[in-house]
Structure 1
Amino acid sequence: MDAIARFIKEQRKRNKLTQEEFALRSGLGLRFVRELEQGKPTVRLDKVNQALAMFGSQAVPGPIEQKEEI
């Protein structure tokens, strides 16, 4: 979820959109956008794809990223 959160936030900023503007243009709620960008682990996939669609992307299956152990 962190990779999606980073992608959304980076793309939103690259397009010079505030969270409020992004929420309005994507048809999503501001609370959802905030939670998504914070990496909330339990969000609806359909809404994630709605957000990603703003940047020509979608969530697809892929390998699980392994976190480094310290």
Structure 2
Amino acid sequence: MNNWDRENGIAQFVRNRRKKAKLTQVELSDFTGVGLRFVRELEQGKPNLMSDKVNQVLLFFGHTLTPTPISDETRRNMGK
């Protein structure tokens, strides 16, 4: 699990929304059509997941991946 970030925004969002909906990872996998392993890796913050599958899960919660502007300070601190 090198460089996995369980606290990244997407991992937290999916985990929190799934729990709020009272769904197990298995149920979310079934409802969204992605594999259970994918749901687990997504919630654990695996850094290199397929964006189309991430969107499949996010669409279930009424969201989608979109470009979001970041601050200059965040940009300067990237890669540190």
* TM norm structure 1: 0.88
* Alpha-carbon distance in structure 2 between the residues aligned to 1:50 and 1:17: 16
Residues 1:25 and 2:25 are matched in the alignment:
no
> Normalised by the size of structure 2, how large is the TM-score?
0.78
Q: Work out the number of aligned pairs and report it.
A: 67
What is the match of residue 22 of structure 2? Answer: 16
Structure 2 distance, partners of 1:6, 1:64, is: 19
CA distance in 1, matches of 2:15, 2:35: 15
Partner residue in 2 for 1:5? 11
State the distance in 2 between where 1:62 and 1:24 align: 29
Aligned counterpart in structure 2 of residue 45 of structure 1, from 30, 46, 51: 51
- For 1:18 and 1:51, how far apart are their aligned partners in 2? 13
Alignment of 1:61 with 2:67, yes or no, is yes
Q: Percent identity?
A: 52
5+ residue gaps in structure 2?
Answer: none
Partners of 1:63 and 1:37 in 2: CA distance: 23
RMSD of Structure 2 on Structure 1 (CA): 1.7
